[in-house]
Amino acid sequence: MKLLTLDSADLTGKKVFLRVDYNVVNNGEVTDEFRVRSSLPTIEYLLEKDCSIILASHNGRPDGKVVDSMSLRPVAKLLPKLLNRDVIFVDNCVGSEVENEAKYLRTGDILLLENLRFHKGEEDNDKNFAKNLADLAEWYIDDAFAAVHRAHASIVGIPKLLPHAAGLLLEREYNTLSELMKTPAKPYTAVIGGAKISDKIEVLNELLKHVNALLIGGAMANTFLAALGNNMQASLVEKDSFADAKKIISAAKRRKVRLLLPSDVVVALDIDGKKGLRTTKVDQLRPKEIALDLGPSTMDSFNEVIAGSKTVFWNGTLGRAEVANFAKASESLAHAMISSDAKTIIGGGDTAAYIDNVGLHSHFSFVSTGGGASLELLSGKKLPGIEVLMKK
**Catalytic annotation present for 196:** yes
CA dist 36 and 20 (Å) reads: 8
Q: Choose, from 193, 349, 370, 371, the residue flagged as catalytic.
A: 349
**Catalytic annotation present for 35:** yes
Q: Choose, from 14, 15, 19, 35, the residue flagged as catalytic.
A: 35
State the amino acid at position 125 in one-letter form: N
For residues 293-314, one letter each, b for 16 or more C-beta atoms within 10 angstroms of the residue's C-beta and e for the rest, the string is bbbeebbebbbebbeebebbbb
Q: Choose, from 131, 258, 372, 381, the residue flagged as catalytic.
A: 372
**Catalytic annotation present for 372:** yes
Q: Choose, from 196, 255, 258, 310, the residue flagged as catalytic.
A: 196
**Catalytic annotation present for 348:** no
The phi and psi torsions of 377 (rounded to 5 degrees) equal -65, -45
For residues 373-383, one letter each, b for 16 or more C-beta atoms within 10 angstroms of the residue's C-beta and e for the rest, the string is bbbbbbbeeeb
Q: How far apart are the first and last CA of the chain?
A: 6
State the amino acid at position 90 in one-letter form: V
| 179 class by beta-carbon count within 10 Å (0-12 exposed, 13-18 middle, 19+ buried) | middle
Cα 345 off chain centre by: 12
Enumerate the β-bridge partners of residue 88: 111
The two most distant CA atoms of the chain are separated, in Å, by 69
Catalytic center residues:
35, 196, 349, 372
